[in-house]
Structure 1
Amino acid sequence: MDLTTLTDSEFEQHRLDVNAEQNRQFSLIVIPQQVAQLSAQFLTAGGDQATLDAAIIPEPVEEEPATETETPTTKEA
């Protein structure tokens, strides 16, 4: 991508997109470390492993099937 050809608006959007991706990648690195640290603190304080497991990997919630919405019909003259 040639950044010199972007308009100010396009450049700003690209900058925001890059920033969002950097934050996403940072989260992928940091969150597991935070979970490990907090898990250790929880267990050291006497927390139950099953409770911790349930919090980290919650039971899947079944979604209700989507219903089709009716669209109004018009009569042509």
Structure 2
Amino acid sequence: MLRRREAVPFAFVAESDRFRSNVTPPPRERLTVPQLVGRGLIGLTVVAGIVGSMVFGMPALDAGNSGGRQHQSEASDGR
């Protein structure tokens, strides 16, 4: 394997902490009213989907009685 013979200058790494650019980024664009309404509707749709899946999924996760019916076998009937 080849080794590098010249030393790697790490001074630029130490100087990068103090470096400040004189170029300012462009200002952020303000959202328009239709964009705000659209984002709100998307958020509302996501929340409604999560709530709906919980409402419809909770009965399936219920470990108690299955379907509201009580099932007894004939052997435990006592006849």
TM-score by length of structure 2 reads 0.39
TM-score by length of structure 1 reads 0.39
Would you tell me which structure has more helix in proportion to its own residues?
Answer: 1
User: Which structure has more RCO (C-alpha within 8 Å, separation ≥ 6)?
Assistant: 1
Structure with greater Cα Rg: 2
